[in-house]
């Protein structure tokens, strides 16, 4: 159990250290309690759904001729906003760069940013899903400790 | 739980939150519930006006009038922006114009902040909104400051040091008289320095 706890704690710390998550994610964790025990997973799930939709939209928009940079910028702005709200730091930072390329109407730059975004987002999702799995394991293990032992 | 007696001593604030972002609605709702507020969340300015009964479409049958102690609205929304919603509310010649309206935005734009404050926004919060922001707001409203006499506007600004403006030297932060206890320079800016 101790090992699992340590593994969980270390993994979470690494995600912060490596910049995947920032302080806003800690804010979300603070908001989780007995009255809302799955809050973080719920928000992140919404974030995943939202992001996947936006990334698809951006991808399709970049295939249009001519490219509607204003529309893409609007999508990226949304992505930036939701990333900031959940503490997805790396994803958020790419969005800032992405917006500059939109403003400059630089299609190649946009395409490159989209690829980066997809990569970072994928990695984040994978990491978070692993983190949540560890948390579930820990909860299950903690719940099965016999009392009076 | 609302107790009768002194106004603003003990009670549950009812906050109306307006945001077009799915994720942000979830977060702001939780932030408010965590600070013991009753929350209603809507996705647009139009819906907000409908909820308040200000859309001119309300049937008088069974409509009691909704009691809202504070409105928090995102600035950038399709259709009606938060700024437009703010204006509409402040143009009401009724109890509605006295409801404190807080505008939230992910963009730190001085002219935007100024116009919102000019229009009577209680405060301008930079997103992402934190627990400390919400706590500060609810404490402020609970302290009885919710009612403002017309003409005296809150000059409080929430702006980080990196104002996007060459006029940043003219930025001033004037604290509101009722708020001195909870206010500190770092609390003024809702953008804390990142790790």
How many CB atoms neighbour CB A74 within 10 A? 18
Nearest CA to CA, how far is A81 from chain B (Å)?
7
Kindly give the parts of chain A with pLDDT less than 70. 144-149
- Residue listed under structure tokens 């935005």: B105
Global ipTM: 0.91
Contact yes or no for A46 and B76 at CB 8 A = no
Alpha carbon distances (Å) from B4 to B35, B85, B183: 20, 32, 29
Give yes or no for a contact between B163 and B26, defined as CB atoms under 8 angstroms apart.
no
A142's tokens: 């903690």
Which among B22, B30, B195 has the least Cβ separation from residue A39? Answer: B30
| Higher per-residue pLDDT: B160 or B103 | B103
Give residue B57's pLDDT. Answer: 65
Q: Per-residue pLDDT for B168 more than 50?
A: no
Give residue B161's pLDDT. Answer: 42
Q: How confident is the model at residue B11 (pLDDT cuts 50, 70, 90)?
A: low
User: What is the percent of chain A with per-residue pLDDT over 70, rounded to a whole number?
Assistant: 95
Contact yes or no for A42 and B26 at CB 8 A = yes
* Structure confidence by residue, pLDDT tens digits, B12-34: 899 999 999 999 999 999 999 99
- Beta-carbon contacts of residue A144 (< 8 Å; ≥ 6 apart): none
Interface check for A90 against chain B (CB to CB < 8 A): the answer is: no
Q: Per-residue pLDDT for B163 more than 70?
A: no
Mutate one of A17, A22, A35, A82 to test the B interface: name it (highest B CB count within 10 A).
Answer: A82
The whole-chain average pLDDT of chain B stands at 76
Q: Transcribe chain A into DSSP letters.
A: -HHHHHHHHHHHHHHHHTTSB-HHHHHHHHT-BTTBTTHHHHHHHHHHHHHHHHHHHHHHHHHSSS--HHHHHHHHHHHHHHHHHHTBHHHHHHHHHHHHHHHTT-HHHHHHHHHHHHHHHHHHHHHHHHHHHHHHHHHHHHHTSPTT-
Give residue B65's pLDDT. Answer: 61
Nearest CA to CA, how far is A40 from chain B (Å)?
10
Interface check for A31 against chain B (CB to CB < 8 A): the answer is: yes
Give yes or no for a contact between A54 and A80, defined as CB atoms under 8 angstroms apart.
no
Collapsing DSSP to helix, strand or coil, B104 comes out as strand
* Inter-axis angle of helices A39-63 and A69-86, nearest 10: 160
Strand-strand pairing, B70-74 and B38-42:
unpaired
Q: What is the DSSP letter of B45?
A: H
Q: What is the mean pLDDT of residues B133-148?
A: 80
Q: Per-residue pLDDT for B38 more than 60?
A: yes
Which among B24, B34, B194 has the least Cβ separation from residue A31? Answer: B34
Burial class of residue B11, CB neighbours in 10 A (0-12, 13-18, 19+):
middle
Give yes or no for a contact between A58 and A114, defined as CB atoms under 8 angstroms apart.
yes
Contact yes or no for B26 and A43 at CB 8 A = yes
Give residue B64's pLDDT. Answer: 53
Q: Is the pTM of this model over 0.90?
A: no
Q: Per-residue pLDDT for B62 more than 50?
A: no
- Beta-carbon contacts of residue A102 (< 8 Å; ≥ 6 apart): A69, A70, A72, A73, A76, A110
Nearest CA to CA, how far is A61 from chain B (Å)?
19
Nearest CA to CA, how far is A45 from chain B (Å)?
9
């Amino acid at each position: 159990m101790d090992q699992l706890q340590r593994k969980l704690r270390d993994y979470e710390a690494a995600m912060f250290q490596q910049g995947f998550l920032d302080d806003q994610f800690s804010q979300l964790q603070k908001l989780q309690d007995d009255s809302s025990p799955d809050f973080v997973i719920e928000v992140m799930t919404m974030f995943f759904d939202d992001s996947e939709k936006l990334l698809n939209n951006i991808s399709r928009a970049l295939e249009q001729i001519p490219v509607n940079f204003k529309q893409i910028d609007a999508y990226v702005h949304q992505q930036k906003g939701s990333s900031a709200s959940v503490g997805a730091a790396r994803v958020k930072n790419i969005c800032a760069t992405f917006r500059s390329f939109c403003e400059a109407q630089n299609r190649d730059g946009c395409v490159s940013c989209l690829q980066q975004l997809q990569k970072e987002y994928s990695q984040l999702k994978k990491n978070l899903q692993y983190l949540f799995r560890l948390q579930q394991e820990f909860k299950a293990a903690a719940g099965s400790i016999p009392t009076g032992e | 739980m609302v107790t009768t007696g002194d106004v603003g001593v003990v009670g549950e604030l009812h906050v109306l939150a307006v945001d077009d972002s799915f994720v942000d609605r979830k977060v702001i709702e939780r932030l408010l519930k965590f600070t013991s507020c009753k929350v209603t969340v809507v996705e647009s300015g139009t819906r907000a006006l409908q909820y308040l009964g200000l859309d001119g479409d309300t049937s008088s049958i069974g409509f009691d009038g909704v009691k809202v102690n504070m409105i928090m609205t995102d600035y950038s929304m399709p259709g009606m922006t938060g700024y437009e919603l703010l204006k509409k509310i402040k143009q009401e010649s009724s109890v509605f114009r006295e409801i404190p309206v807080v505008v939230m935005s992910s963009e730190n734009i001085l002219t935007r902040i100024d116009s919102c404050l000019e229009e009577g926004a209680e405060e301008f919060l930079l997103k992402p909104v934190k627990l400390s922001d919400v706590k500060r707001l609810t404490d402020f409203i609970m302290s009885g400051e919710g009612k403002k006499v017309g003409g005296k506007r809150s000059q409080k600004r929430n702006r980080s040091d990196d104002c996007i403006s060459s006029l940043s030297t003219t930025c001033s932060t004037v604290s509101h008289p009722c708020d001195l206890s909870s206010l500190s320079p770092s609390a003024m800016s809702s953008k804390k320095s990142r790790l």
